[in-house]
Amino acid sequence: MLTYNELIDLRNKLANGEIQLELAKTQFWGDLKEGQRSWNTKDWQERRPKFLKDKCEICSGTETLTVQHLSHPRKYAEYLREITSKYAKDHIDTNPEINKSEFTDYVLKNHDYVPVLLCPNCMSKNPSERVRKIPKYRCADCKHEFDEATFRSVNELISIFYENKDAYEVVDKCFVSKDKYRNKNNLSSVKYWMQRERAKNKDSETIEKEAFLLHLNDSIKYLSFEDAITACKKCAYNFDVNKMELCPKCKQHYKGLQYPTCIDCLPEDKRKVALENIQFGKEWHEMHKRLGID
């Protein structure tokens, strides 16, 4: 695992183009061992005592003081998705249209078409299917009864889509992606994913580098203890596991991170509401337990 200073060095070299992206990734991840945690490294152990204050910054206690991070690095994959979306948007703004035959090829190659069934008489969608009666279908709109429903071909749908992308005929998500996700798309979203893929292929190196630099910055910030405080074991546990911190008013009770104070320190009227909500929540939970829902 790279030390804090090595990480800064790597980030600067990558940002200045002194090192290739692939090599930077190898240096960063290749050195990571399974299950290794930054707080077990020598580098961390050496810098920790310089950071730690002599008491918990939440409760002023002194028992088993630890470094409590208030934020964590965001994942590289998360940044990658975000930056790709940004490049996709730019690409779509400058190249809003796709050649129709290229689009048709893309649709057919990457999707299974699950057509929406239509009434052969009036072309309205989804005629009711009857289990026992014959003929099998009955159109709710024109009352026509029939055995074989009809449907539009992919080419027909694409032609309608090129006339009007929001047309009633093309809003249905009848294109199922052939990848493992089996996502259901309508033609508008197929078009978006095709353009996103083009943007990604065109600028893959730039996109990956931008995302990796953001992830490196997060990792450096984490190792720097910049967004961290000294906390005792109890406060650290409450913060991480229960998402709670000590009430700033009474400094005795813990409160949820989203609330300004603990329940006891709320003004009278708000306290009543909070207590009622808790009571209601408890009863609700009990009832669910009894009914076996929870």
Q: What does the alpha-carbon distance between residue 240 and residue 52 come to, in Å, rounded to a whole number?
A: 18
Please, what is the minimum distance in Å from the beta carbon of residue 184 to Zn ion?
Answer: 25
What are the residues whose beta carbons fall under 8 Å from the beta carbon of 207, sequence distance 6 or more?
80, 83, 84, 87, 200
* Residue of 14, 232, 244, 266 that binds Zn ion (CB under 5 A): 232
d(CA 292, CA 294): 6
Identity of the residue, 74 or 271, whose beta carbon is nearer to Zn ion in the bound complex: 271
Selected from 3, 121, 126, 177, the binder of Zn ion by CB under 5 A is: 121
Question: Which residues, numbered 3-32, are part of the site for Zn ion (CB under 5 A)?
Answer: none
Task: Select the residue interacting with Zn ion from 14, 119, 157, 211 (CB under 5 A).
Answer: 119
Candidates 23, 77, 142, 273; binder of Zn ion (CB under 5 A) is 142
Residues 49-78 that bind Zn ion (CB under 5 A): 56, 58-59, 61
3-state secondary structure of 224: helix
Q: What is the CA radius of gyration of the chain?
A: 29
Q: Which of residues 80-99 bind Zn ion (CB under 5 A)?
A: none
Q: Which is nearer to Zn ion, 199 or 262 (CB)?
A: 262
Q: Assess 273 for contact with Zn ion (CB under 5 A).
A: no
Q: Which of 37, 67, 36 is nearest to 49 (CA)?
A: 67
Judged by beta carbon, residue 129 or residue 283, the one nearer Zn ion is 129
Rounded Cα distance between 259 and 91, Å, is 42
DSSP states of 147-205: SS-B---HHHHHHHHHH-TT-GGG-S--EEESSTT--EE-HHHHHHHHHHHHHHHHTHH
Minimum CB distance to Zn ion, residue 243 (Å) = 15
Would you state the structure tokens that stand for residue 205, as one six-digit string? 């190196």
Query: What DSSP designation does 39 have?
Result: G
* Contact flag: residue 236 with Zn ion (CB under 5 A): no
Cβ distance to Zn ion smaller for residue 10 or 139 = 139
Question: Could you tell me how many residues of this chain bind Zn ion (CB under 5 A)?
Answer: 21
Nearer to Zn ion, 53 or 285 (CB): 53
Q: 84 and 207 in contact (C-beta within 8 Å)? A: yes
How many other CB atoms are found less than 10 A from the CB of residue 235?
A: 25
For Zn ion, which stretch binds (CB under 5 A), given 103-111, 170-178, 196-204, 252-260?
252-260
Q: How far is the CB of 270 from Zn ion (least distance, A)?
A: 13
Q: Which CB atom, from 196 or from 234, has the smaller least distance to Zn ion?
A: 234
Q: Is 265 in the site for Zn ion (CB under 5 A)?
A: yes
| Ordered DSSP codes for 10-36 | HHHHHHTTSS-HHHHHHHHHTTPPTT-
220 belongs to the binding site for Zn ion (CB under 5 A): no
Q: Per rule CB under 5 A, is residue 262 in the interface with Zn ion? A: yes
Is 266 an interacting residue with respect to Zn ion (CB under 5 A)? no
Phi, psi values for residue 187, rounded to 5° = -65, -35
Indicate which single residue of 23, 122, 273, 278 sits in contact with Zn ion (rule: CB under 5 A): 122
**174 is a site residue for Zn ion (CB under 5 A):** no
Residues of this chain that bind Zn ion (CB under 5 A): 56, 58-59, 61, 119, 121-122, 124, 139, 141-142, 144, 232, 235, 247, 249-250, 253, 261-262, 265
